[in-house]
């Protein structure tokens, strides 16, 4: 009996399951869930394609597109859920009936199940009026309720993802502090210049590639070079640089072959984590550099995404001669930062041809394009528009050829800054820092952006980061000196300025800065003493004339200030590349005559300055002229317009320096008693107080 009944029961079970599946499919069609799924998928695909184009055009970080895709995928189950529960009818969004076409109990045919065996009635989500068949208004949800629910769900998902990314970034920063290293070039037994140059050639590229690896802090190559031949132990060097690991590299060229040794040492335990020797043909230099980098990453157990792996494995060029030419040109160019700009034309004449020769050997090499962009941003040889257009071309070409390299983004940011687009410049700098969190130039430029906006806490954070990566460089001390000025800490500012001067004596002079600080404090006796010292020690430096003018004006001596301003204006070369400097110098002359009460001379010099304003405003959006415009307006007696210009400049991030009480007379003598100007200064002071508190909390 059991054998006969089993198949029958089995068949009944199959029928029930098939029936249930049919009912589910029918219900999905009735509730339009399938249509919503297809429509959502099509819309999400279109949005992803558009986002891919738009986000790349805006040169936003790669994770932005990932965020869009993840958000679209996360929204899919919610779309299906809403489609199951709700429907859109002629009167708005309504709750869908739970059962379609339920049969009333009175209409059941005879022979049906008795009431005690009848399944319980399914509660109806909506009640239907016998007269109209319309859904009960009490059960109908208005459209705005549905919209609010959808928005809240997506905001919640977005915040969750953002929080996840924030936690991930915080974890990465913590990991970065735990894993830090310096790449040390070690002199070989031969000690020949050729072998020393080969060690630098290998080590610098390894350092550059490791610098682009997320999750590790890498000391700058300049700082690492200072330890070559020092005789210090590995542990001692690691302690001075505050790094946890040391990479040592030696190299020799023997009979046309390269013999390279590399090793990774845990500085805390002096234990070797990895070491390898390479004996290859000279043409395999870039392959050796890549293998060393990859081995170090594996030894440190760093996890890389596929994109980061490609970024690490891709050399800028495989042409050794092109690489050496670009490197030589870059060294000449970078020496300008340390030695000043007195020999700029000579350096330009030597370095620029090297970059072009490198491109002739390898047209696909991105680095020379980035340095050529930097050249066009500061050259005096061409009209302004020609220089800016050329800089933009080379910067974008560098990004196109080397999308994983930060140099092109830094150059493009400098170009946008020159045209007055501060926020766009900052966007490219953030991308550069994302690609290389140890890139000193990108970190310095981004910190300067925050400093101009008086966002001192963020500028200080970036400056401290630079100090870790390049402890003996001038970049971090110069930033920290400017930050301490705005915090009202003169002693701290002079301490950091002294360090910047020691690192780069050709660019940062301590005497002129001490004079500037005395003016900020309003210390008349100190200002006079500093003026006399500067005139005696370095009276022919052009930039000093600006400081001396400022100091004499602050002391109320326009007759003594005027010659410095006239001397500055006469020394500025012709050409539109110097328009902004020329306008500022002429306004200083006009200001001195205003203080002397000579209205005719004020009108003359204002007319000269204002003649160049439209041309400069057209090419830099007017923002880079905040101070000049405000000064001209105030000297014309248009004080309300001058204050409005300063207010707009503050919001746009063009407040170049905090006007302390001691310099109000110098900068805007006609505005000292203007209520709007005082309100602006109070706003700035309150903002700086908040920034000081944040810096104290961070430290």
Q: Structural domains in the chain?
A: 15-97+140-178 (no CATH), 179-315 (3.40.50.10070), 316-400+407-417 (1.25.40), 401-406+418-698 (1.25.40.10)
Query: Quick check: 237 and 227 in contact, CB under 8 A?
Result: yes
Query: Kindly report the CA angle at 168 between 163 and 174, in degrees rounded to 5?
Result: 125
Q: What is the pLDDT of residues 547-604, one digit of tens each?
A: 888 888 888 888 989 999 999 888 887 776 678 888 888 888 998 998 888 999 999 9
Helix or strand or coil: residue 24?
A: helix
| CA–CA gap between residue 94 and residue 31 (Å, rounded) | 11
What confidence score (pLDDT) does residue 434 get? 92
The enclosing H or E element of 643 equals: helix 639-651
Per residue in 264-289, pLDDT (tens digit) is 999 988 899 999 999 988 888 888 99
- Tell me what pLDDT residue 668 has: 76
Angle value at C-alpha 440, between 435 and 444, nearest 5 degrees: 105
CA distance 671 to 668: 5
- Look-up of token digits 């779309």: 79
Tell me: the pLDDT tens digits for 72-128? Answer: 777 777 777 776 666 665 555 566 665 544 444 433 444 444 444 444 444 444 443
Higher per-residue confidence, 605 vs 421: 605
Transcribe 144-162 into DSSP letters. HHHHHHHHHHHHHHHHHHH
pLDDT at 133 over 50: no
* Token pair 């880079």: residue: 624
Query: Could you give the dihedral angle defined by the CA atoms of residues 619, 623, 628 and 631, in that order, rounded to the nearest 10 degrees?
Result: 140
Higher pLDDT, 191 or 306: 306
- What's the confidence (pLDDT) of residue 297? 92
CA distance 410 to 398: 10
Average pLDDT on 309-327 reads 87
Q: Which residue has the higher pLDDT, 297 or 124?
A: 297
pLDDT of residue 311: 77
Average per-residue pLDDT for the chain: 77
Contact 546, 569 (CB under 8 A): no
Using pLDDT thresholds of 50, 70 and 90, give the confidence band for residue 171: very low
Q: Token pair of 28, please?
A: 């999905």
Residue carrying structure tokens 């001209």: 632
Tokens of 666: 């110098």
The C-alpha atoms of residue 244 and residue 163 are separated, in whole angstroms, by 29
Confidence of residue 219 (pLDDT cuts 50, 70, 90): very high
User: End-to-end CA distance of the chain, in Å?
Assistant: 86
C-alpha–C-alpha distance, residues 509 and 543, integer Å: 10
Q: Which of 285, 368, 380 is nearest to 330 (CA)?
A: 368
Helix-helix angle 2-30:33-57, to 10 degrees: 50
CB atoms closer than 10 angstroms to residue 422: 20
Q: Report the sign of the C-alpha dihedral through residues 286, 289, 295, 297, in that order.
A: negative
Mean pLDDT on 293-320:
86
pTM comes to 0.69
């Amino acid at each position: 009996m059991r054998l006969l009944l089993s198949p029958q029961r089995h068949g009944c079970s199959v029928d029930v399951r098939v029936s249930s599946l049919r009912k589910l499919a029918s219900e999905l069609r009735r509730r339009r869930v399938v249509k919503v799924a297809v429509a959502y998928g099509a819309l999400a695909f279109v949005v992803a394609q558009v986002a891919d184009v738009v986000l790349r055009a805006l040169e936003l970080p790669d994770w932005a597109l990932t965020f869009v895709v993840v958000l679209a995928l996360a929204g899919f189950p919610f779309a299906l859920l809403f489609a199951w529960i709700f429907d859109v009818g002629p009167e708005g969004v309504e709750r869908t009936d739970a059962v379609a076409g339920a049969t009333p109990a009175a209409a059941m045919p005879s022979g049906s199940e008795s009431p005690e065996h009848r399944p319980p009635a399914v509660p109806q989500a909506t009640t239907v009026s016998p007269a109209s068949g319309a859904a009960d208004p009490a059960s109908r949800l208005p459209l705005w309720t549905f919209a609010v629910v959808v928005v809240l769900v997506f905001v919640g998902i977005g915040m969750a993802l953002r929080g996840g990314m924030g936690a991930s970034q915080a974890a990465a920063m913590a990991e970065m502090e735990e894993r830090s290293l310096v790449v040390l070039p070690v002199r070989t037994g031969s000690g020949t210049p050729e072998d020393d140059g080969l060690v630098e050639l290998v080590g610098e590229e390894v350092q550059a590639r490791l610098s682009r690896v997320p999750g590790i802090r890498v000391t700058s190559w300049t700082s690492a070079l200072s330890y070559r031949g020092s005789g210090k132990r590995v542990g001692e060097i690691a302690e001075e640089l505050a790094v946890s690991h040391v990479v040592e590299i030696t190299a020799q060229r023997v009979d046309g072959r390269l013999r390279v040794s590399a090793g990774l040492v845990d500085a805390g335990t002096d234990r070797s984590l990895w070491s390898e020797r390479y004996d290859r043909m000279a043409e395999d230099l870039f392959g050796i550099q890549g293998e060393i980098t990859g081995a170090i990453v594996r030894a440190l157990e760093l996890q890389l995404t596929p994109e980061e792996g490609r970024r690490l494995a891709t050399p800028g060029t495989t042409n050794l001669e092109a690489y050496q030419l670009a490197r030589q040109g870059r060294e000449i160019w970078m020496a300008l930062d340390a030695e000043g700009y007195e020999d700029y034309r000579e350096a330009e004449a030597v370095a620029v041809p090297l970059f072009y020769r490198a491109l002739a050997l390898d047209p696909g090499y991105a680095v020379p394009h980035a340095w050529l962009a930097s050249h066009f941003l500061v050259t005096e040889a061409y009209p302004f528009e020609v220089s800016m257009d050329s800089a933009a071309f080379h910067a974008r070409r560098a990004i196109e050829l080397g999308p994983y390299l930060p140099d092109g983004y830094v150059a493009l940011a400098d170009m946008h800054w020159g045209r007055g687009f501060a926020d766009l410049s900052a966007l490219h700098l953030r991308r550069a820092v994302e690609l290389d969190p140890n890139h000193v130039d990108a970190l310095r430029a981004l910190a300067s952006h925050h400093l101009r906006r008086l966002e001192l806490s963020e500028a200080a954070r970036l400056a401290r980061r630079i100090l870790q990566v390049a402890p003996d460089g001038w970049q971090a001390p110069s930033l920290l000196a400017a930050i301490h000025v705005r915090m009202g800490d003169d002693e701290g500012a002079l301490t950091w300025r002294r360090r910047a001067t020691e690192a780069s004596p050709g660019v940062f002079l301590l005497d002129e800065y001490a004079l500037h600080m005395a003016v900020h404090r309003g210390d008349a006796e100190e200002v006079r003493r500093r003026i006399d010292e500067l005139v005696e020690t370095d009276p022919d430096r052009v930039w000093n004339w600006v400081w001396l003018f400022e100091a004499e004006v602050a002391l109320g001596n326009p007759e003594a200030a005027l010659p410095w301003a006239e001397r500055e204006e006469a020394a500025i070369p012709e050409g539109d590349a110097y328009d902004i400097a020329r306008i500022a110098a002429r306004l200083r002359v006009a200001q001195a005559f205003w203080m002397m009460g000579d209205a005719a001379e004020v009108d003359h010099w204002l007319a000269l300055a204002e003649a160049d304003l439209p041309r400069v405003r057209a090419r830099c959006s007017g923002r880079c002229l905040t101070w000049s415009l405000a000064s001209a307006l105030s000297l014309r007696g248009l004080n309300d317009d001058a204050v409005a210009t300063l207010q707009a400049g503050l919001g746009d991030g063009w407040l170049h320096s905090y006007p302390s009480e001691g310099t109000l007379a110098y900068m805007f003598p006609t505005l000292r008693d203007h209520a709007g100007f005082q309100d602006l200064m109070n706003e700035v002071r309150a903002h700086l107080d908040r920034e000081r508190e944040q810096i104290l909390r961070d430290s």
